[in-house]
């Protein structure tokens, strides 16, 4: 922080406005963090002094002692929260996230499961006070969603949600089976950091294949008569992104390019991680092929994370967005493992 403050004091600091603005944002963020820790230190010192004064009395004031005990409990909770935030050490952990869910094996049940997961994450984001926006979605033929992409804005959104990447498995009695038999369905959750414009991702116009089409809803009914939806294929990687939720073709293209930049950046990070693992002689599984969590509704009720073994029988709470325990268990399990974010 002192280095940034020294830079900001230089006469030529604002000669490059973009760099200066970036540094000032980082400085403001660091100052905010420091103030939080200093505030905690001040409150702790004041509580200790108050307790010492009360202890010096022949008959300590019960209300004062009770007040100090309440403050101590609050400080303990705040300290635990701040200590947990130290797990977010990745460069983009503090930033926004883009979350995508794709229906996997399981037919209509998988598409319904995709919609259930979308609701779960939207509920979780709402509880965190985050802003969410559905960037793209494609409904299933009978029910649910084939895919959905959601932008999630808020402090540490990416830091939290990176714990959710992987395959999610649902076991239940299918509401779409006339015999009401037990079905297993899968959905893939992808999470990318919503990288800012200062992060350089080289996208050449000649590497893009852009298609426009009519935005459609369930049953193939056209939402708009004009071709406003945009699909972009990045030819070198084969990555395909689309957006049809905005009103204009220009807006949809901008959102699609935003998603593409995030995916290409994440792909580059994955390549670096795999190369490092190769040099170390360690095996790296294909990230998107990993099953990370099972949600069982029949013959018993349980949600279990297969990476940490954390589990709960309160399936309804989890599907209503109570994910913090699962996320915390995973993030704590990665401490010291050199996981990238």
CATH of the domain at 264: 3.30.160.20
- Give domain status of residue 22, yes or no: yes
Residues 72 and 11 in one domain: yes
101 lies in which domain range? 97-194+284-333
Question: Rounded to a whole number, what is the distance in angstroms from the first to the last CA of the chain?
Answer: 23
Looking at the structure, do residues 58 and 128 belong to the same domain, yes or no? no
The 311-312 sheet, strands edge to edge: 131-139, 145-153, 97-103, 182-193, 166-173, 291-296, 302-305, 311-312
Choose the final residue of a domain: 241, 259, 280: 280
The pLDDT value recorded for residue 206 is 92
Of 280, 300, 319, the one marking the end of a domain is 280
Let me know if residue 310 belongs to a domain.
yes
**For residue 183, with 0-12 CB atoms within 10 Å meaning exposed, 13-18 middle and 19 or more buried, which class applies?**
buried
Number of domains in the chain: 3
Query: Which of 249, 264, 280 is the endpoint of a domain?
Result: 280
Query: Can you give the pTM of this predicted structure?
Result: 0.72
Helix or strand or coil: residue 88? coil
CATH number at residue 312: 3.30.70.1660
Do residues 212 and 171 both lie within one domain? Answer: no
- The sign of the dihedral angle between the CA atoms of 225, 107, 98, 278 is negative
Predicted local distance difference test score (pLDDT) of residue 151: 93
Quote the pLDDT of residue 15. 81
Residue 266 located in a structural domain: yes
Interatomic CA distance for residues 51 and 59, integer angstroms = 13
| Domain presence at residue 108 | yes
Q: Which CATH number do you get for residue 71?
A: 1.20.58.410
In a domain, 213, yes or no: yes
Would you state the pLDDT for residue 34? Answer: 84
pLDDT (tens place) for every residue of the chain, 341 residues total: 678 778 778 888 788 887 777 778 777 877 877 888 888 889 899 888 888 888 888 777 788 888 888 889 888 888 887 777 778 877 788 889 999 999 998 899 999 999 999 999 999 999 999 999 998 898 998 999 999 999 999 988 999 999 999 999 999 999 998 888 899 999 999 999 887 655 567 889 999 999 988 776 544 444 445 678 899 999 999 999 988 877 788 889 988 998 998 889 888 877 777 765 665 455 444 344 568 999 999 999 999 999 999 999 999 999 999 999 999 999 988 875 544 44
pLDDT value of residue 294: 95
**Closest to 241 (Cα-Cα) out of 249, 228, 229:** 229
Residue 260's nearest CA partner among 115, 165, 167, 136 is: 136
Give the length of the chain.
Answer: 341
Q: Say if residue 7 is in the same domain as residue 156.
A: no
Distances (CA, A) of 138 to 63, 97, 103, 111, 147: 59, 20, 10, 10, 5
| pLDDT on residue 329 | 93
301 falls within a domain: yes
């Amino acid at each position: 922080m002192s280095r940034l403050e020294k830079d900001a004091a230089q006469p030529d600091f604002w000669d490059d406005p973009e760099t200066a603005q970036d540094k000032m944002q980082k400085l403001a963020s660091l100052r905010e963090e420091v103030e939080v820790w200093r505030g905690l230190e001040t409150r702790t010192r004041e509580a200790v002094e108050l307790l010492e004064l009360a202890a010096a009395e022949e008959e300590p004031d019960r209300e004062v002692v009770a007040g100090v005990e309440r403050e101590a409990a609050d400080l303990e909770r705040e300290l635990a929260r701040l200590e947990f935030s130290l797990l977010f050490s990745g460069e983009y952990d503090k930033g926004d996230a883009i979350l995508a869910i794709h229906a996997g094996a399981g037919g209509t049940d998988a598409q319904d499961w995709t919609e259930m997961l979308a609701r779960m994450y939207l509920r979780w984001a709402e509880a965190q006070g985050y802003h969410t926006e559905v960037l793209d979605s494609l409904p299933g033929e009978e029910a649910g969603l084939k895919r959905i992409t959601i932008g999630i804005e808020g402090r540490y959104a990416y830091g939290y949600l990176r714990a959710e990447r992987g395959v999610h498995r649902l076991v239940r009695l299918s509401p779409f089976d006339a015999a009401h038999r037990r079905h297993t369905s899968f959905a893939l959750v992808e999470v990318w950091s919503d990288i800012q414009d200062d992060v350089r991702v080289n996208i050449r116009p000649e590497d893009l294949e852009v298609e426009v089409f009519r935005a459609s809803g369930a049953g193939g009914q056209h939402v708009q008569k004009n071709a406003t939806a945009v699909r972009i294929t990045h030819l070198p990687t084969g990555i395909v992104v689309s957006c049809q939720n905005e009103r204009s073709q220009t807006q949809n293209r901008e959102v699609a390019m935003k998603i593409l930049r995030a995916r290409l950046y994440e792909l580059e990070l994955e390549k670096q991680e795999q190369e490092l693992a190769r040099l170390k002689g360690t095996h790296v599984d294909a990230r998107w092929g990993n099953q990370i969590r099972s949600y069982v509704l029949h013959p018993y009720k349980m949600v279990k994370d297969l990476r940490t073994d954390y589990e709960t029988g309160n399936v309804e709470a989890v599907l209503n967005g109570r994910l913090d325990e699962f996320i915390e268990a995973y993030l704590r399990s990665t401490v010291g493992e050199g996981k990238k974010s």
